[in-house]
Amino acid sequence: MLDTHKNKRFICDYYSPGMIIIKIIRAEVPGGIISGISMPELPADVGIIGFEDIPAEKDLHVFSRSMPLLCDGNIKYEGEPVLLLYGKDEKELDILASEIRIDYETDYTLASMETYTEEQVDRELKYSRGKPDRNFAKAHKIIEETYSTSSQHHYDLEPQGAAAMINEAGGVDITSATQWPFNVRDNVSECLGIPKKKVNIDVPAMGKTHSGKLWYAGLLACYAAIVTWKTNEPSFCLIPKTDSILYTPGRAASIIRHKTGIDENGKILCRSIDISIDSGACPMLSEEVINRICFSAAGVYMTPALEITARSIRTNNPPSGAFNGMGFHQSFFAGECHANSLAAAAGLGPLEWRKMNTARKHINLPIGWESRKPIQLDKLLDTVAEMSDYKRKHAAYSLSAKMQNDFSGKKRGIGISVCCQGNGFMGKVEENEKYTVSARLDTDGSLSLFTSAVPENFQTASLWRDIAGGILEINPDDVRIETVNTSLVPDSGPSLFSRNITIITQLIEKCCNAIKKSRFRLPLPIEVKRSYRLPRTNGWDPESFSGNPFPIVSWGAAVVETETDPITLETSIRGVWLAADCGKIMNIELAKAEIESEIFRSVISSTMKPPAVKYARLGIPLTPVQPQNPFAVRIEFLSSRENKPGGIGELPDSLIPAALSEALSMGLNIKLADLPSTSESLFRQLEHISNTQETELED
Amino acid sequence: MIKNIRSPLVYYPKTVNEMLSLYKSMPDSLLYAGGTGILASKNTKYPELPGNIIYLRRIEELSAIRRSEGYLEIGACAKLNRILGIGEHVLKPALYAAIRNIGTKEVRNIATIGGNICSPYRTKTLIPLLSLLETRLELRKQGSSRWINVRKFVSPEEGLHEGEVLTRLRIPFNNFNHQSYIITGDLKSDYRGALTFACLASVQKENLSAIKFAAGIGDNGIFRAREFEEALSGRKLPLYAITEDPVFARLTSALKNQSDEVSSFHSRQIEGLFLTFMHSLNDML
Amino acid sequence: MKIDFSLNGKKVSIDTLPEKRLIDVIREDFGLMTTKNACYSGECGSCTVQLEGRIVPACQIPIFTVRAKRIVTIEGFMGTEKYLDIINAFNDIKCIPCPFCFTGKILAVDSLIDNHRTPDTSDIMALLSDHSCSCTSVSKFIEGVRMAYHNREFRGELLK
């Protein structure tokens, strides 16, 4: 019986009356210095905590980065937590919170990403290969374009939060909706100044996260821990939905400038790419994001000469985070849109041009890898083109786009894109980490899996049970994934969906195979442990841009067909076709369901405006809608030459935006360069073209 | 415990007169029916409400729906889904679509038509269409009542006076045999950028005997082009190449006159949606 | 303020603040935690319950408005054959929405398939739009709703 909703406790289910409730008092300006705080008279059962009241370490740490747990006096972004107000009566706290007034001395703000100053550059990476200058000099054509993507926010239903209570060891037990329990444990132990062994992190059920609970959960866990430590009572901190959307780390906005030289046949000779990403006020994962964005900037095309400059910029926006793909989304949007311009400049169709330029071997990728495995990009493109009838539709829509006038029926278009998905982190950030999974086959024949990896969705958990059940020939229902608690399970590292599928699934397989070998030789229970450490040889070196960046890479190609209403400029999707080569597929139905749900989500985020603080304050809900019209989705997996499972969930976010943008551009006979493509942005683009044409006529 | 935390007192009147009398004695009280507009804007566990609440849903008269010969009369506290239950054939396509586009199904099971009309964000839902339909509203206070057109109701000067309560709507049955109601954009994620467009036309044989349209724009505005509508009414159909007809300039100028409120994007949409509607009339012939 | 109402078929009484939302009352005061709360704005569908047989967002209902009303939460609905129509359908096609959104979706599906006609795709998409969680495949969900309808039809529920 599939009663998955029964007995599943999410973080919001951990509150019970009598617990201390924590309210976060946030900054209301994007930058400035706090000159004073006026407080109402606080009753005896209400307390307040500021930066100076944090018992020990005052910063939250993620890999080598840190940010203050509470504002240290300098406001860095609108919504930055300044104070924690706590008490048992929520209504009373709401009234008191509304009476707290924070005064700001200046309204000093950093420049935006578009006009940044050198002081705002958090990190800059430069990469060069071949002789770009010489190749540009001999290029037949040089095409220069700029693309931008806006920030994206987490709309996941389940709220973010944490609960804390004093444990028997004199430490704290924390319940935290986190994808990275051991990071939460380390941060809580540091902020309280107590040994790690006195802190237990328990992870409740969680919905889909898109990496929104990777490190931010640590902040809320520290708040609950600090209040419980101070009061000796259980506490609970849950942030409202609007705060969750506006202030938790979303996807970094980007501006990417491409300059590419091609020869007479349309082959790439050289590329120069300049990338800026908005890492927000506190760049916590920007090192990884900047590495990945740099790595994927030139796409999957053979590029004899290449230079890339990528920088992350501090601004007064909330900290940006990992989100799905951590940089691949921005890179592939710009790179694949630019590929269409290169195809047009070469007088070739987008499919034809891509097939001519895609790499066949890893070594021929823009940033060469040491892997010797072949790549099937040609085959992926052919497959997806055939599935969607791309060639015929492309020819037909190109022709009709040129012939139609303004109000003559719906504008159809079709776009194609190709990408890769790196699974797991790129290396340096976690090179010293070792991740472990253990499994125990009990006397009753049931299997327990111990891992701190948090399944990003219920499909992943189901997949692990199926794999373990299959290897040991037991019913998957008899496979138990033990509750994630740092005192009971080994450290399996941060849980990204792709990482769960690749590294954790492999470790589970290894554990189960080891048990299988000894199950009839040794008495039950049998417990085995397997660990993963990033390979020391052939691993990715971000300094020299060499080695193999990921343990396994997935590849994908997609076609999106759109129809735009010429009046309202609203877009409906006629179909999405996606072909993937992502290693061993464990469960084809689950894999397709996962990709399909991500396709729908990607379509929404590619066509919807990011939320505005202004509207949240007016009380207008920010929840996005699902597309009202369903569309055909077809997914195929190529038989892979890789026998390990690869991630799939990030492919749609790298493929759909560019293909969708190309389809819209074709239908309306314009060139779109910004994401998202809202009706209004389409209108502005059309208006701009119309104004330019009028000016030209006048001249 | 801090002092002066006071929860609201709730009154449950059963008749309109009882309610009006309570409201007169407590003019600062909150009239509460479906409450979705009130609660959705308050993001806290305990929504902050005024000290006195007059709960209207026990007053049967306020939820009544009646059909008379000339109009549909709807109590201000009738729930939206209940109104939809009357059926599209009675409500006619535009009104049916307008109500169906408000909130989620769950919300429409508690939200009321009066609440929608009194909401600060009303111009993106029912008001533009109700104004085309010449809907009249009954406003009552103790000892008096008056009926006003919905157009006047939304103007700050002529809307609700002190002590008045919206009690009923009268929506005249209409003879518009061509109707369109469209929302562009997403009211949830981009309220300001979204647009509502309602258009009604009466076509007798090949004669466009009447046409009118309205659009909900910006944060709280309504666009109308009455001179243009009047100039078109009575024209013979089909009307091809209307953009080249001198009368079309009246629409362009109406849009320009309201350019503070109507963005260029919405202008294009209004023009386009109107032309699409006209095309559909031509195509019917 | 003392409020009497019916919860999952039982008469209950509660003395609480009148403005407390129904969702918090059923979760905190009656311990019925399967219904979730996410947005407090009536938009996400996770707090759906039945009020007088109609689905409503429990976060938009202050407790003073439910005096003498009938409330059924997912816990009360679980014991019914109507529930089995739905859960068996989703089980059969291996469609696994996350438990956070699924409780609201189950009650919304029930309301949809109770309409005595095969739900068309636009009805189901509207339902998904009202329950904004992207945890599952849209096509699988559509298939699940249709199968739930057939289960109910097969049981003869619609003929009664």
- With a CB cutoff of 8 Å and minimum separation 6, the contacts of A52 are none
Domain of residue A525, CATH code: 3.30.365.10
Quick one: A374 and A474 in the same domain?
A: no
What is the C-alpha to C-alpha distance for residues B128 and B112, in angstroms, rounded to an integer?
Answer: 17
Contact A629/C at CB under 8 A: yes
Record: contact A568-B184, CB cut-off 8 A: yes
- Identify the pLDDT of residue A462: 80
DSSP B215: E
Q: At what angle do helices B264-284 and A679-698 cross, to 10 degrees?
A: 100
Minimum distance, in Å, between the CA of residue C94 and any CA atom of chain B: 27
The answer to whether residue A343 sits within a structural domain is no
pLDDT band at C69 (very low <50, low <70, confident <90, very high): very high
Q: Which two tokens stand for residue A1?
A: 């019986």
Report the chain C residue with the minimal C-alpha distance to residue A458.
C98
pLDDT band at A622 (very low <50, low <70, confident <90, very high): very low
Chains that touch A (3 or more CB pairs under 8 A): B, C
Domains of chain C: 2-77 (3.10.20.30), 81-159 (1.10.150)
- Identify the pLDDT of residue A614: 46
Quick one: A393 and A411 in the same domain?
A: yes
Task: Say which amino acid occupies A67.
Answer: M
What is the C-alpha to C-alpha distance for residues A261 and A282, in angstroms, rounded to an integer?
Answer: 37
Given a contact cutoff of 8 angstroms between Cβ atoms, the answer to whether A227 and A190 are in contact is: no
Q: Which of residues 179-218 of B touch A (CB under 8 A)?
A: 182, 184-186, 188-193
User: Tell me: the pLDDT tens digits for A6-46?
Assistant: 567 899 999 999 999 999 999 999 999 999 999 999 999 99
For chain B, give the number of residues: 285
10 Å Cβ neighbour count for A475? 12
ipTM entry: 0.94
The answer to whether residue A370 sits within a structural domain is yes
The answer to whether residue A694 sits within a structural domain is yes
What is the C-alpha to C-alpha distance for residues B220 and B214, in angstroms, rounded to an integer?
Answer: 13
Q: Smallest Cβ distance to C98: which of A207, A593, A625?
A: A207
User: Tell me: the pLDDT tens digits for B143-183?
Assistant: 999 999 999 998 877 888 889 999 999 999 988 999 999 98
Provide the mean pLDDT of chain C: 91
Report the chain B residue with the minimal C-alpha distance to residue C123.
B105
Region of A529 (left: φ > 0; alpha: ψ -120 to 50; beta: rest) is beta
Contact A18/C at CB under 8 A: no
Q: Smallest Cβ distance to C142: which of A15, A589, A630?
A: A630
Quick one: A668 and A696 in the same domain?
A: yes
What is the C-alpha to C-alpha distance for residues A629 and C121, in angstroms, rounded to an integer?
Answer: 8
Contact B237/A at CB under 8 A: no
The pLDDT of B255-273, averaged and rounded, is 90
10 Å Cβ neighbour count for A448? 17
Record: contact C121-A630, CB cut-off 8 A: yes
Q: At what angle do helices A390-403 and A377-388 cross, to 10 degrees?
A: 60
Quick one: A374 and A454 in the same domain?
A: no
Residue spans of alpha helices (H) in A404-531: 458-472, 497-499, 505-518
Instruction: Give the closest residue to A43 by CA, choosing from B128, B40, B2, B278.
Output: B2
Record: contact B106-C18, CB cut-off 8 A: no
For residue A513, the enclosing domain spans 432-533
- Cβ contacts (< 8 Å) between B39 and chain C: which residues? 21, 40-42, 59-60, 62
Q: Which two tokens stand for residue C137?
A: 């495949």
The pLDDT of B10-21, averaged and rounded, is 97
Given a contact cutoff of 8 angstroms between Cβ atoms, the answer to whether A540 and A548 are in contact is: yes
Quick one: A379 and A502 in the same domain?
A: no
Stronger pLDDT, A245 or B26, i.e. the higher one: B26
pLDDT band at A183 (very low <50, low <70, confident <90, very high): very high
For chain A, give the number of residues: 699
CB burial string A310-348: b at 16+ within 10 A, e below? bbbbbbbbbbbbbbbbbbbbbbbbbbbbbbbbbbebbeb
- Cβ contacts (< 8 Å) between B49 and chain C: which residues? 19, 62
- Cβ contacts (< 8 Å) between C41 and chain B: which residues? 39-41, 43
Q: What are the CA-CA distances from residue C134 to residues A243, A556, B107 (Å)?
A: 20, 21, 21
Task: Say which amino acid occupies B215.
Answer: A
For chain C, give the number of residues: 160
What is the C-alpha to C-alpha distance for residues A686 and A695, in angstroms, rounded to an integer?
Answer: 14
What is the C-alpha to C-alpha distance for residues A213 and A249, in angstroms, rounded to an integer?
Answer: 9
Percent of chain B residues past pLDDT 90, beyond the cut: 67
Minimum distance, in Å, between the CA of residue C142 and any CA atom of chain A: 10
Record: contact A627-C33, CB cut-off 8 A: no
Question: Is a pLDDT exceeding 70 seen at residue A428?
Answer: no
Record: contact A407-B45, CB cut-off 8 A: no
The answer to whether residue A618 sits within a structural domain is yes
Record: contact B45-A91, CB cut-off 8 A: yes
Last residue of a domain, one of A505, A533, A561: A533
pTM for the full model?
A: 0.92
User: Tell me: the pLDDT tens digits for A635-687?
Assistant: 999 987 777 777 888 899 999 999 999 999 999 989 999 999 988 889 888 88
Q: Which residues of A touch B (CB under 8 A)?
A: 40-41, 43, 45-46, 89-92, 94-96, 240-242, 407, 566-570, 608-609, 611, 615, 618-625, 678-680, 683-684, 687
The answer to whether residue A346 sits within a structural domain is no
- Cβ contacts (< 8 Å) between A459 and chain C: which residues? 96
Q: At what angle do helices A390-403 and A651-668 cross, to 10 degrees?
A: 40
- Identify the pLDDT of residue A458: 67
Q: Smallest Cβ distance to A622: which of B2, B184, B189?
A: B189
The answer to whether residue A299 sits within a structural domain is no
Contact A392/C at CB under 8 A: no
Report the chain C residue with the minimal C-alpha distance to residue A89.
C17
Question: Is a pLDDT exceeding 90 seen at residue A562?
Answer: yes
Record: contact A4-C139, CB cut-off 8 A: no
- In a mutagenesis test of the C interface, which of B10, B106, B121, B186 is the best target, namely the one with the most C β-carbons within 10 Å? B106
Instruction: Give the closest residue to C35 by CA, choosing from A12, B270, A566.
Output: A12
Record: contact B7-C21, CB cut-off 8 A: no
Sheet holding C70-72, edge to edge: C10-15, C2-7, C70-72, C48-51, C54-57
Q: Find the angle CA(B249)-CA(B255)-CA(B257) to the nearest 5 degrees.
A: 100
Quick one: A690 and A590 in the same domain?
A: yes
How many domains in chain A?
2
Q: Which two tokens stand for residue A298?
A: 């030139």
Beta bridge partners of A24: A84
Region of B134 (left: φ > 0; alpha: ψ -120 to 50; beta: rest) is left
Question: Is a pLDDT exceeding 70 seen at residue A624?
Answer: no
What is the C-alpha to C-alpha distance for residues A83 and A50, in angstroms, rounded to an integer?
Answer: 5
Contact B46/A at CB under 8 A: yes
Instruction: Give the closest residue to A478 by CA, choosing from A443, A528, A517, A437.
Output: A443
- With a CB cutoff of 8 Å and minimum separation 6, the contacts of C31 are none
Exposed, middle or buried: residue A639 (CB in 10 Å: 0-12, 13-18, 19+)? exposed
- Which residue, chain included where needed, has tokens 């759109």? A562
Instruction: Give the closest residue to A502 by CA, choosing from A460, A445, A556, A547.
Output: A460
Quick one: A593 and A697 in the same domain?
A: yes
Report the DSSP pairing between strands A74-75 and A235-238.
unpaired
Query: What's the gap between Cα B48 and its chain centre?
Result: 27
Quick one: A448 and A503 in the same domain?
A: yes
What is the C-alpha to C-alpha distance for residues C145 and C85, in angstroms, rounded to an integer?
Answer: 10
Task: Say which amino acid occupies A28.
Answer: E
10 Å Cβ neighbour count for B5? 13
- Cβ contacts (< 8 Å) between A46 and chain B: which residues? 2
Record: contact B189-A608, CB cut-off 8 A: yes
Given a contact cutoff of 8 angstroms between Cβ atoms, the answer to whether A178 and A309 are in contact is: no
**Strand, helix or coil at A562?**
strand
The pLDDT of A595-599, averaged and rounded, is 89
Q: Which two tokens stand for residue A10?
A: 């999410």
Contact C136/A at CB under 8 A: yes
What is B227-278 written as a DSSP string?
HHHHHHTTEESP--SGGGSTTHHHHHHHHHHTTTTS-HHHHHHHHHHHHHHH
Quick one: A585 and A505 in the same domain?
A: no
- Identify the pLDDT of residue A500: 75
Q: Which two tokens stand for residue B69?
A: 């010969």
The answer to whether residue A26 sits within a structural domain is no
User: Tell me: the pLDDT tens digits for B249-259?
Assistant: 999 999 999 88
- Identify the pLDDT of residue A2: 47
Quick one: A603 and A519 in the same domain?
A: no
User: Tell me: the pLDDT tens digits for A281-331?
Assistant: 998 888 888 888 988 999 999 999 999 999 999 999 999 887 887 889 999
What is the C-alpha to C-alpha distance for residues C129 and A370, in angstroms, rounded to an integer?
Answer: 46
Q: Smallest Cβ distance to C41: which of B40, B46, B53?
A: B40
Quick one: A675 and A591 in the same domain?
A: yes
- Identify the pLDDT of residue A616: 46
Contact A641/C at CB under 8 A: no
Quick one: A445 and A553 in the same domain?
A: no
Report the chain B residue with the minimal C-alpha distance to residue C130.
B104
Task: Output the CA torsion A447→A450→A456→A458 (10° steps).
Answer: 20
Last residue of a domain, one of A533, A563, A591: A533
- With a CB cutoff of 8 Å and minimum separation 6, the contacts of A36 are A102, A103
Record: contact A4-C99, CB cut-off 8 A: yes
Last residue of a domain, one of A508, A533, A558: A533
Given a contact cutoff of 8 angstroms between Cβ atoms, the answer to whether A69 and A222 are in contact is: yes
DSSP A548: B
Contact B163/C at CB under 8 A: no
Instruction: Give the closest residue to A231 by CA, choosing from A309, A172, A291.
Output: A172
Percent of chain A residues past pLDDT 90, beyond the cut: 57
User: Tell me: the pLDDT tens digits for A368-424?
Assistant: 676 777 789 999 999 999 999 999 999 999 988 877 655 467 899 999 999 998 876
The pLDDT of A478-483, averaged and rounded, is 86
- In a mutagenesis test of the B interface, which of A568, A617, A623 is the best target, namely the one with the most B β-carbons within 10 Å? A568
Question: Is a pLDDT exceeding 50 seen at residue A509?
Answer: yes
- Cβ contacts (< 8 Å) between A40 and chain B: which residues? 2
What is A507-534 written as a DSSP string?
HHHHHHHHHHHHTTTSPSPEEEEEEEE-
The answer to whether residue A119 sits within a structural domain is no
Q: Which of residues 20-49 of C touch A (CB under 8 A)?
A: 27-28, 33-34, 36-44, 46
Stronger pLDDT, B58 or A520, i.e. the higher one: B58
Q: Which two tokens stand for residue C130?
A: 């009202």
